[in-house]
Amino acid sequence: MTANQTLRADTIQGRSLWQDAITRLRKNHLAMAGLVILIIMVVVALLTPWIAPYSYEVQDLDLGASPPSAAHWLGTDTFGRDLLTRVMYGGRVSLAVGFIATTVALVIGVFWGAIAGYAGGRTDAFMMRLVDILYALPFMIFIILLMVVFGRSILLLFLAIGCVEWLTMARIVRGQVLSLRQQEFVEAAVAMGLSPLTIIIRHIIPNILGPIIVYVTLTIPSVMLLEAFLSFLGLGIQPPQSSWGLLISYGVETMEEYPWLLLYPGLVLSVTLFSLNFLGDGLRDALDPKTSKD
Partner 1 sequence: MPVLSVKNLTVNFYTRDGIVNAVKDVSYDVDAGEVLAIVGESGSGKSVSSHALLDLIARPPGKIESGHAYFNDIDLLNCSKQQMRSIRGNKIAMIFQDPMTSLNPYMTIGSQLIEVLTTHSVVDKKTATLKAAHVLEEVGISDGLKRLKQYPHEFSGGMRQRVMIAMALLTEPELLIADEPTTALDVTIQAQIFELLHALRKRYNIAIIFITHDLAVVAQLADRVLVMKDGAIVEQGTTAEIFANTQHDYTKNLLAAIPNSQKPEQYRYQVPAHNNNSILEITNLTTRFPGLSSGLFQKKQYLNAVDNVDLSLKKGEILGLVGESGCGKSTLSKTIIQLTDSHEGSVKFEGEEITSLDSKHLKRLRKDLQIIFQDPYASLNPRMSVYDILLEPLKLHQAAPKDQLDQRIKELMREVGLSPSDIRKYPHEFSGGQRQRIAIARALAVAPKVIVADEPVSALDVTIQAQILDLFLQLVKRRGLSMIFVSHDLSVIRYLCDRTAVMSEGKIIEVDQTETVFNHPKNVYTQKLIAAIPTEIPHQSPA
Q: Which whole-number Å values give the CA distances from 257 to 78, 168, 232, 239, in the listed order?
A: 10, 40, 21, 21
- Which of 69, 183, 238, 270 touches partner 1 (CB under 8 A)? 183
Q: Is 135 in the site for partner 1 (CB under 8 A)?
A: no
Dist CA 151 CA 5 (whole Å): 47
CB nearer to partner 1: pick between 12 and 141: 12
- Which of 13, 62, 136, 148 touches partner 1 (CB under 8 A)? 13
CB nearer to partner 1: pick between 204 and 247: 204
Q: Is 289 in the site for partner 1 (CB under 8 A)?
A: yes
Q: Is 70 in the site for partner 1 (CB under 8 A)?
A: no
Dist CA 242 CA 255 (whole Å): 18
CB nearer to partner 1: pick between 5 and 141: 5
Q: Is 273 in the site for partner 1 (CB under 8 A)?
A: no
Q: Is 288 in the site for partner 1 (CB under 8 A)?
A: yes
- Segment 195-224, which members bind partner 1 (CB under 8 A)? 195, 202-203, 206-207
CB nearer to partner 1: pick between 57 and 288: 288
Give the interface with partner 1 as residue ranges (CB under 8 A): 3, 6-7, 10, 12-17, 20, 183-185, 187-195, 202-203, 206-207, 287-290, 293
